[in-house]
Structure 1
Amino acid sequence: MRGPGPADERSLDADTLAFLTRPGLTRLWTAARTRLERNGLQPAGTVRLQRLDAQEHEALSLLLARPVTGSTATISLPDLDARLRTSAVGRGLAATLEELGPPLTDRRAIRDAAAAERARVWSAARAEAESTSLSVHPWATQWLEDLRRGGTLARQDPHTATTVITQAVRTLATLFPGPDPRPTPAAWGRGELAAHATGSAHGLDDGTLLARLVLRGIALAHGAKFPADAPARRALWRMASVTPDEVSSTVLTYGLRPTGGTWQEAALRERADHHMETHLTLRELRTLRPEMPPHTRIHVCENPRVAEAAADTGRTAPLVCTSGSATTVVLTLLDALAEAGCTFAYHGDFDWPGIALANRITQRYEAEPWRMRAPDYEYLATRTQQRGTPQIPLTGPPTEAAWDPELTPTMTAVGISLHEEAALDLLLEDLG
């Protein structure tokens, strides 16, 4: 390395650059860069290099203008900074590392800026709460503190975090407008409340960050647990006089003949007598408590085509269709039927998602497999092959069938998916 010379702030000359980029200095620059970026780009403290090789001994000795021996070297960053300034490099450690690239990142400044942004978010949230009716509710202070400590909003960018927490405060202030710990008796539709607080009717949709924050506040206000599933979330909304959307999702039924005297049960019987399917909403199921003949056997299928074919052919057995997934509205109806003493038989698709759904239904309701055992699969597979039906390969990791240990190995060996329509004629026979 050349001796001291005048500083050249424009760029390093070729000889100096070649020396600084030699392999024997690579670990030093890496360690110094890490330390500076943590130190606010200030050359403070030391770096320790272990297990030095001959190439590093030579390069460090030339750079520091002193012999470097042994397997370990401890290098003072202030001394290194001074040495670089008085050498041919002519600039301090930070400027040298910038020249060698890539640009330095002041991680301390980034952390401080992020902390300042978080502080501004919570300052704005507290100010918003103080300006509303939430300031009179002790649970609101705990709610804000829980959110601050929980880290949910810390993972959002500052603009999103400020927007969401402000909207959450305004939503809760709308629901709890005065010192009474109970919510306002005025009922809100969830979409209406969302539009009022956010400008969008979907702002409080299930699963949104805003909805989770508001539900946490409602739960604290009522001393309730935070809901773990969709039915519990809807119950908590209703506790705050907010009506969730209970009419969009439906469950497809056919042939239900409850024996009770309510108009709903009479309507189901009449539709069953006319071989008409019925779509029931969550709103209807909230008040429908069907009385059923003792030990009524309910067939449960996965695909709507089975219900359609049953109606077309005038079948009489009661049928509930999951439409491909056990959503809340499906489970709500099946729960009501189970409470009424019904038993269940389940059939679905012979593919891995179909087996997973079948496991859920059979285990929750102790449902019998309905033509869903290994011999049923083998028969249908052989029949589709004999008929020249195009074969759909099984894909994805296998799912064990809880009701039949032979089904999954059989499906894996044969290797084809069979949708419920492949067994439609057999299922209709059973529904006769």
Structure 2
Amino acid sequence: MTATEPGMSARTRAWLDQPALARLWDRLRDRLERNGLQARGRLRLDGVTAAEREALALLTGRPYAGDTVSIALADLDAQLRTGAAGRGLVEVVTELRGPLTDRPAARDARRATAEAIWSAADDTLRSHGLADAVWAGPWLEELRRAGTLARLAPDRARRLIGQAIDVMSVLTGPVSPGAGMGRAGVPGRGELAERVTGTAHGLDDGTLLSRIVLRALARAFEVPPPQDARSRRELWEAAGVAVDRVSTTVLTYGLVPLGDEPAVRLLRDRTRAGFETHLTLRDLARITWRLPPDTEVHVCENPRVVEAAADRGCARPLVCASGNPTTTALTLLDALHAAGARLAYRGDFDWPGIAIANRMIGRYSARPWRMRATDYEEHVATARDRGTPLPPLTGAPVDALWDPELTPAMTALGVAVQEESALELLLTDLLSA
């Protein structure tokens, strides 16, 4: 609208735009935007000057006394329509102060856009069979509370969350991490990123997509969100994703595979020399695992057990999972299991340790290695006899699926027992031929 259009002359516009009415139009702009561009309610001006009072009286046709003026917006709207302005309050304020924003409508539009993003996320989860995954709902709620996606353009937010769900589908569906600890055939991070985003760098550290996915993985694995490069790498690998094939290793001792390949000979020579060995994913790819009949491989959680076993010249093969097993550890254990090895697993007597043991024992039908209720009670009694303090159990209890008496025993005694506390007992088993 311009000053030359019928109904509002240049003279009228100049009069309305006088300094004495400037505060009125400024306040009306804010009020109308908050009102959804509706001329309703009253506007109060305090500390009115004599010049403002005179101009307001001429504008509304009403005299005012004192330094406070209250104006009904509907009355002012009618006065402007029938007066020289020839148009309503919204049109006049727009001409004098520029386009107005219907704030309630804009807020509703933003809400509708946001709801559409989360509705699309729900639909994508359902389409991947992940709607009932225990991590999915809390993860989406966490993203909503964080507000990061709300600050993005809607199309980008919808695309990012869809890509994150695509990644989680590869990593967790149809088997959840709690049941399977990653899936066979999961590609490396670069390959996974290229498959989902079209670029091999789509899941690199520092990308918003990688942060969103890692939040989901932390929920799925019931661990804190990663805070540094090492914890991010460990979480990717716990989900079965190799960040690369050489920087992470699995610690082993005593493996004697059969065959004449160079990698097999090297491993066998190190075992015969009494050396522990770190194997990379590239090493594992070079080995065709054939084992002596009736091989049993003991699996521990703490590297100290491997170190002590090597120092004592233990006879039995040993693999260290190093806490929540990495991709490299799982790749080795999968290969040993497929080659006919029986596995025996030992971890910590705390709730994260029980959760890991559930997954390991379930994945490999492994024998619990000194991990029954009687073993726990014996460890606690020995520590107390020696006056050795034990840390308290923290977090929610986890049912030990291999021994229904273990969780009640741990809950009753309320202390955690780390694997290395039973080092001598474990070495006794490993020394036996």
> 1:9: how far off?
5.5
Partner of 1:134: 130
For residue 169 of structure 2, the aligned residue among 164, 167, 173 is 173
Counterpart-to-counterpart distance in 2, 1:196 and 1:9: 59
Partner of 2:187: 188
Counterpart-to-counterpart distance in 2, 1:96 and 1:161: 38
Q: 1:93 to 1:282 in 2, by over 3 A?
A: farther
Q: 1:117 to 1:47 in 2, by over 3 A?
A: same
Structure 2: any 5+ residue segments left out of the alignment?
A: 248-265, 268-279, 284-302, 308-433
Counterpart-to-counterpart distance in 2, 1:92 and 1:119: 35
- On the 8 A contact 1:124/1:162 being kept in 2, the answer is yes
Partner of 2:211: 212
Q: 1:283 to 1:223 in 2, by over 3 A?
A: farther
Partner of 2:200: 201
Letter matched to residue 70 of structure 2: T
Counterpart-to-counterpart distance in 2, 1:207 and 1:283: 26
> 1:48: how far off?
1.6
Letter matched to residue 221 of structure 1: A
Moved over 6 A (4+): 281-284
Q: 1:11 to 1:85 in 2, by over 3 A?
A: closer
Partner of 2:348: none
Partner of 2:36: 40
Percentage of matched positions with identical amino acids: 50
- On the 8 A contact 1:23/1:55 being kept in 2, the answer is no
Q: Does 1:73 align with 2:73?
A: no
Q: Does 1:109 align with 2:105?
A: yes
Partner of 1:232: 231
Deviations 1:300-324 (A, max 9, x none): xxxxxxxxxxxxxxxxxxxxxxxxx
Q: 1:11 to 1:194 in 2, by over 3 A?
A: farther
- On the 8 A contact 1:133/1:176 being kept in 2, the answer is no
Counterpart-to-counterpart distance in 1, 2:185 and 2:43: 66
Q: Does 1:124 align with 2:120?
A: yes
Indicate the larger mover: 116-125 or 130-139.
130-139
Counterpart-to-counterpart distance in 1, 2:222 and 2:175: 16
Partner of 1:22: 18
- On the 8 A contact 2:7/2:86 being kept in 1, the answer is no
- On the 8 A contact 2:190/2:200 being kept in 1, the answer is yes
Q: 1:62 to 1:165 in 2, by over 3 A?
A: same
- On the 8 A contact 1:11/1:99 being kept in 2, the answer is no
Alignment RMSD: 2.9
Deviations 1:62-113 (A, max 9, x none): 0010112211112111111111111111110011112223122222222221
Letter matched to residue 122 of structure 1: W
Letter matched to residue 108 of structure 1: P
> 1:133: how far off?
2.8
Partner of 1:152: 148
Letter matched to residue 92 of structure 1: G
Counterpart-to-counterpart distance in 2, 1:282 and 1:35: 66
> 1:145: how far off?
1.7
Letter matched to residue 95 of structure 2: E
- On the 8 A contact 1:48/1:73 being kept in 2, the answer is yes
Deviations 1:378-398 (A, max 9, x none): xxxxxxxxxxxxxxxxxxxxx
Secondary structure at 1:138 match in 2: coil
Letter matched to residue 172 of structure 1: M
Output the TM-score relative to the length of structure 2.
Answer: 0.54
- On the 8 A contact 2:29/2:97 being kept in 1, the answer is no
- On the 8 A contact 1:137/1:179 being kept in 2, the answer is no
Secondary structure at 2:87 match in 1: coil
- On the 8 A contact 1:191/1:202 being kept in 2, the answer is yes
Counterpart-to-counterpart distance in 2, 1:138 and 1:187: 21
Q: 1:189 to 1:59 in 2, by over 3 A?
A: same
- On the 8 A contact 1:9/1:90 being kept in 2, the answer is no
- On the 8 A contact 1:117/1:158 being kept in 2, the answer is yes
Letter matched to residue 222 of structure 2: G
Counterpart-to-counterpart distance in 1, 2:85 and 2:229: 66
Counterpart-to-counterpart distance in 1, 2:245 and 2:232: 12
- On the 8 A contact 2:7/2:84 being kept in 1, the answer is no
Q: 1:153 to 1:159 in 2, by over 3 A?
A: same
> 1:214: how far off?
0.4
Q: 1:11 to 1:245 in 2, by over 3 A?
A: farther
**1:30-429 matches, cutoff 5 A:** 30-180=26-176, 181=178, 182=180, 183-245=182-244
Letter matched to residue 170 of structure 2: T
> 1:246: how far off?
6.8
Secondary structure at 1:168 match in 2: helix
Letter matched to residue 142 of structure 2: D
Partner of 2:367: none
- On the 8 A contact 1:184/1:241 being kept in 2, the answer is yes
Counterpart-to-counterpart distance in 1, 2:234 and 2:281: 12
Secondary structure at 2:130 match in 1: helix
Counterpart-to-counterpart distance in 1, 2:139 and 2:224: 13
Secondary structure at 1:241 match in 2: coil
Q: Aligned residues, how many?
A: 253
Deviations 1:267-290 (A, max 9, x none): xxxxxxxxxxxxxx9999xxx99x
Partner of 1:430: none
Counterpart-to-counterpart distance in 1, 2:164 and 2:100: 39
Structure 1: any 5+ residue segments left out of the alignment?
A: 1-7, 249-262, 265-280, 292-432
- On the 8 A contact 2:26/2:97 being kept in 1, the answer is no
Indicate the larger mover: 44-53 or 121-130.
44-53
